[in-house]
Amino acid sequence: MKVETKFQNIAYRLAKSFDQPGETRSLKWIMRPLLQLITRGMPVSVEDIASETGKSVDEIRDTLSALPSVELDEQGRVIGCGLTLVPTPHRFWVEEKQLYTWCALDTLMFPQLIGRSAYIESPCHSSGTPVRLTVEPERIVSVVPSSAVVSIVTPDDMSSVRSAFCNEVHYFSSASKAQKWLDQHPGASVVSVEDAFELGRLLGRQFENGFDMQSCCDV
């Protein structure tokens, strides 16, 4: 299988896991505006999302209740959906606002979806050595160390994306630093940061364009 085809299939499976029965491509209309609102660095109310998307408050509430792993505060405001206000190992700065992401792949995907550059710092999952990146919507500007890689898993059960996928997608400072983790995760792999960026772009397009398996797998 071509690398591109493999990545397209992974992107499809991940994006499809968000497509809830009874919803009409919910992430197709909510993901980008929701992420852009979260970049303000404050909890996002359903009224904020309704104003941004032109949907009703009730429709926003119904959609949020169906999204897997979405993080809400005590007032029912969104504080995380991939991009989060809740601290994680993956720090994500946008114009001096410090945010976080659920996994390493998110850090590479979200600059495209929010249309803004980001500075990222995430520890090597093995050694703790910081991996630092600057990522623009259309390209990676810098990666330190240049040998850094990203772990990728393809679980069969995607009912909980965060636990099944995100919690296993890490930065490593090099492929050799990832070897012990790979030995403990049969079927997993590591890819270059550049390849992970391309996977993130494919996944972002699935969120934006819907879940068309035919177009996903045509190469």
Query: Which strand (E) or helix (H) includes residue 150?
Result: strand 149-152
The whole-angstrom separation of Cα 112 and Cα 83 is 13
Q: Is 218 a catalytic residue?
A: no
Residue appearing with tokens 């009730």: 58
Residue tagged active-site, from 48, 81, 106, 124: 106
Q: Which CATH architecture has domain 1-207?
A: 2-Layer Sandwich (3.30)
N-term to C-term CA, the chain = 11
Segments making up each domain of the chain, as ranges: 1-207
Convert the pLDDT of each residue in 109-157 to its tens digit.
Answer: 999 999 999 999 999 999 999 999 999 999 999 999 999 999 998 776 6
Query: Which strand (E) or helix (H) includes residue 118?
Result: strand 118-123
Closest CA to 152 of 134, 169, 131: 169
Residue tagged active-site, from 48, 81, 124, 166: 166
Q: Which residue has the higher pLDDT, 200 or 142?
A: 142
14 is written with which tokens?
Answer: 């991940």
Q: Is 166 a catalytic residue?
A: yes
Q: So what's the pLDDT on residue 161?
A: 74
Residue tagged active-site, from 103, 124, 195, 216: 103
Query: Which amino acid would we find at residue 32?
Result: R
Residue appearing with tokens 């197709």: 28
| Minimum mean pLDDT range among 18-27, 94-103, 184-193 | 18-27
Q: Is 216 a catalytic residue?
A: no
* ∠ Cα 96 128 86 (to 5°): 45
Convert the pLDDT of each residue in 64-88 to its tens digit.
Answer: 887 768 999 999 999 999 999 999 9
For residue 44, the 8-state DSSP code is B
User: pTM value?
Assistant: 0.87
Q: Which residue has the higher pLDDT, 131 or 160?
A: 131
Convert the pLDDT of each residue in 28-65 to its tens digit.
Answer: 788 899 999 999 999 999 999 999 999 999 999 988 88
